[in-house]
Amino acid sequence: MIQGPGENAGVIDIGDGMAAVFKMESHNHPSFIEPFQGAATGVGGILRDIFTMGARPVANLNALRFGKVKGDDDIAKYQRHLVRGVVDGIGSYGNCMGVPTIGGEVSFDESYNGNILVNAFSLGLVKSDEIFLGVASGIGNSVMYVGSKTGRDGLGGAVMSSDSFTEESKSLRPTVQVGDPFTEKLLLEACLELFKTDHVVGIQDMGAAGLTSSAFEMAGKTGAGLIMHLDKVPAREEGMTPYDFMLSESQERMLICAKKGSEQAIIDIFEKWELDVAVIGEVTDTGRMELMWHGEKCADMPIAPVSEEAPVLDRPVARPKYLDEVNAKSVESYPAVDDQEAYETLLSSMEVSDKAWVYNQYDSMVQTNTTKAPGSLDASCIRIKENGKALAMSSDCNPRYCYIDPKKGAALAVVESGRNVAMSGARPLSITDCLNYGNPENPEVMWQFAQGCEGIKEACSELNTPVVSGNVSLYNETNGISVFPTPAIAMVGLNEDENRVLPSAFQEEGSQLLLVGETKGEFGGSLYIKALHGETAGSLPTFDYKSELALWELVIEANKKGLLKSAKDVNVGGLAIALSKMAAVSNKGVEAEIDLEDSKYIFDESQSRALLEVSSENVEAVVRMAMDLGIKVTNIGTVGGETVKVNDVELSLEKVKDVYFNTFARTIEQDL
C-alpha cells in the first residue's frame, strides 16, 4: 500500500514503478430525487477523486440497489423509472469521459423502495512516484480555482445527502448537481498536463459541500490557514452570496495550492483547455479560514475543529430486536418446494438474471484494455499496457446476509469480492468500501454499522487485503424505514500475466467439472428462502478464512500452470444457479451429478466453493493440488449437450438462455 485512507483515493503498488489508484463513493439521495443527474454526477465525482491524485482513470464499476421492480403497482413502476434513469446517467457520463465501465452489480429488495443506493467505483493508473495529495502548505503560496464556473446548483446537497428522506424530499431537485462530462474531460486533461510540471503543492476536487469542504480539508491536513477572496471565484449567476460560493456543489471544479510564482503558468494551461481559472487566495500561518467579500471580511474561524479535530460522536448502540425472530428460522421453517419449481423460480429472479440491458448502455471497451468485460461472470479485468500485467476488480455485497448478521455479512462481502477476483486468476490485494446504512441516531442502526465495520476489519486482516479508501453513507431511510445494511466492497487484485486472465464460463465441450469446497446445506439469508417464501431469514454459519485462502491459492496457482479452462465461484442460488450461468454465457450445456444429503442442497449457499473446468488430462493434477491444500474436491460432471441438468433439475439450454438473458429487459422495459 502506498496511500491509505484520508486522501481522495487509495493507492497500491502494482510493480514496475506503477500504481493503481481507486475509490468507491455513494450518490444515493441525489439519484433517488433525480436519477439521471444524480447518478451522472456520482460518476463525475468519483472520476475527479482519481485524477486529482495524478492518475488517469482506466476503469469504472458501479454497485446499484433498487426496490421492487416486478408488478404493476406504483412502487414497482417508480422503481423501474429509477433503474432506467440511473443507468442512463451512469452511461452518459462515463461514455462521454472515455472511461470504460467494465462491471458492477445490481440487486433488488423491498428495503430500497424508499431509498435506492447508487455507489460508483473508479480506478486509475499512475507512476508510483507521481502521486499528488490534497494538501495546502507553504505560507504565501497561492490558492487557485480551476474548472467550471460556480452556480447555485447543488446548494444544500451535502445536507440533503446526510438526512433522512420524507415524502417532501422528492421535490428537492435544486439540491441535485448538474454535470457536464465534456467539461470534466477537459479538466482531466488539463490536470494531467499540469501534473507533469513542478507547479503544484496540492490539489483537491470540490465534491460535497463544495469549496467549504475542499478548502478546510486541504488546510486541515497541514495545520495551515487560508485567506480566500470569494468575489474572485468565477460565477455563472448574478447576485450570488458568499454562502452560495462556499456551499455550491457545481461540478467539474478543483482547488489548487500552487507554488508562489507559478500562477501564470497554471493559468496558461487551463486557459488553453478553455477552462475557468483564477487566483482566489493564499496560504497563511494562522490556522484559520478567513473569507473576504469585496475587501471586507465576512467570516473568520479556526480550521482544525471542522477538519482534523472534528468531534467524535459516541452514539448509543442496541442489538436489533428483529434478529431474534429472523435468526430463529431455517429453511425447514417453510413448506417444501419441488426442486424443478424452485430452480425455475430462482433462475428467473432479478438478482440472477443477466444485466445486459444495463451494461450494454456502457462503453466497456473504450481505451481497448478490457480483457474480461461485463457479463463474463465474477470479476472484470483490464490489461496494464505499461507492464504486461492485468488488474481484476469486483464489487460485492449481499444485503440479506448483512440484515440477518451485520458483522458476518460485512465480512462475507469482503470474502466474496476477493473470491471473484481470485476466480479470474488474480491475487486479491486491497479493498475500497462504501458503507451504506440507515439513520445512525437509531441505536439499532448504529449497532449494525459498528458490527459491519468490525466484520470488514476482521476479514481484511485475515485475508491480508487492507482497506485503502472508502466512503460512508448514512441516513439511508425514508419515513423511518432504513435500508438493509449494505457495506459494498470493491476488491482489486493483480495478475502477473495479462495473458493468464481466467474465464468464468465454459470453454470446451467434454471438459470435466470439479466442485471445490464443501456443500453443507447453508440457507441463512439465501436467495432460495427469499425467492420462494418472500422472507430474509436464518442464521449465517461460521466460516473459515483459511479454507477461503486455500481456495484462492488453488485457483491462482493452477491457473499459472495452465491447468484450468475456467473458474466460477458458487454463491447466490447455489450450485444449480452457478452452473446455469456458466452454461448460458458460454452457450454450452452441462450435466452434473453430486451426492447430497438433501436434494435442495443444489441451491444452498455454503461459502468457500468454486467450480473449475478442467481438461480430462489435467484433472489428476488439479485434484492433487487441492488435496495438498486440504481442500475437498469432487468431479461432478461434464460440459456439453443441449440441456442444463443438475441432479433432479433439468431445462433446455435454449430455455435457460432465454430466461437468463431476457428476464431483466422484459421487466424494466414493460412500461415503455
Asked if 580 contacts 656 with a C-beta cutoff of 8 angstroms, the reply is yes
Asked if 350 contacts 572 with a C-beta cutoff of 8 angstroms, the reply is no
- Look up residue 145 and give its three cell numbers: 480555482
Residue 338: count other Cβ atoms within 10 Å of its Cβ.
12
pLDDT of residue 196: 94
H or E segment and range at residue 356 = helix 356-359
Q: What is the C-alpha separation between 171 and 156, in angstroms, rounded?
A: 13
In the chain, pLDDT over 90 holds for what percent of residues? 87
Q: What is the C-alpha separation between 191 and 216, in angstroms, rounded?
A: 21
pLDDT of residue 180: 86
pLDDT of residue 21: 97
Model confidence pLDDT, tens digit, residues 32-57: 989 999 999 999 999 999 999 999 99
The DSSP call for residue 317 is: -
Residue 503: CA count within 13 A, CB half-sphere:
13
**Residue 105 CB burial class (10 angstroms; 0-12, 13-18, ≥19):** buried
Model confidence pLDDT, tens digit, residues 187-218: 999 999 999 999 999 999 987 788 999 999 99
Mean pLDDT rounded to a whole number for the chain: 93
List phi, psi (to 5°) of 532: -90, -30
Give the mean pLDDT of 650-655: 98
pLDDT of residue 163: 57
Q: What is the C-alpha separation between 412 and 73, in angstroms, rounded?
A: 34
pLDDT of residue 250: 87
In sequence order, the 6+-apart residues with CB closer than 8 A to the CB of 360 are none
Model confidence pLDDT, tens digit, residues 275-310: 999 999 999 999 999 999 999 999 999 999 988 887
662 three-class SS: helix
**Residue 543 vs residue 275, higher pLDDT:** 275
Model confidence pLDDT, tens digit, residues 412-430: 999 999 999 999 999 999 9
Q: What is the C-alpha separation between 327 and 528, in angstroms, rounded?
A: 16
pLDDT at 660 > cutoff 90:
yes
Asked if 273 contacts 184 with a C-beta cutoff of 8 angstroms, the reply is no
pLDDT of residue 133: 87
Give the mean pLDDT of 506-527: 97
Q: Which residues pair with 203 in a beta bridge?
A: 256
List phi, psi (to 5°) of 658: -60, -50
Q: What is the C-alpha separation between 184 and 191, in angstroms, rounded?
A: 10
Residue from 263, 304, 148 nearest 211 by CA: 148
pLDDT of residue 178: 76
The whole-model pTM stands at 0.94
Q: What is the C-alpha separation between 23 and 393, in angstroms, rounded?
A: 12
Model confidence pLDDT, tens digit, residues 148-162: 999 887 675 544 455
pLDDT of residue 162: 56
pLDDT at 460 > cutoff 90:
yes
Residue 117: count other Cβ atoms within 10 Å of its Cβ.
26
In the chain, pLDDT over 70 holds for what percent of residues? 97
Q: What is the C-alpha separation between 162 and 425, in angstroms, rounded?
A: 39
pLDDT of residue 167: 53
List phi, psi (to 5°) of 494: -120, 130
List phi, psi (to 5°) of 88: -60, -45
Residue 336: count other Cβ atoms within 10 Å of its Cβ.
10
H or E segment and range at residue 63 = strand 56-66
Q: What is the C-alpha separation between 507 and 258, in angstroms, rounded?
A: 54
In sequence order, the 6+-apart residues with CB closer than 8 A to the CB of 668 are 69, 80, 83, 84, 357
pLDDT at 453 > cutoff 70:
yes
Give the mean pLDDT of 387-394: 95
Which residue, chain included where needed, has cell 436489533? Answer: 320
Model confidence pLDDT, tens digit, residues 217-272: 999 999 999 999 999 999 988 999 999 999 988 889 999 999 999 999 999 999 99
End-to-end CA distance of the chain: 48
**Residue 560 CB burial class (10 angstroms; 0-12, 13-18, ≥19):** middle
pLDDT of residue 172: 47
DSSP string across 144-156: EEEESPB-STTTT
Model confidence pLDDT, tens digit, residues 345-363: 999 999 999 999 999 999 9
Stated length of the chain: 672
How many secondary structure helices (H) and strands (E) does the chain include?
Answer: 19, 27
Model confidence pLDDT, tens digit, residues 501-516: 999 999 999 999 999 9
Q: What is the C-alpha separation between 470 and 556, in angstroms, rounded?
A: 27
Parallel/antiparallel/unpaired status of strands 427-436 and 467-473: parallel
Model confidence pLDDT, tens digit, residues 118-144: 999 999 999 999 998 888 889 999 999
pLDDT of residue 467: 97
Chain centroid, CA 527 distance in Å: 21
- Look up residue 61 and give its three cell numbers: 464499476
pLDDT of residue 173: 45
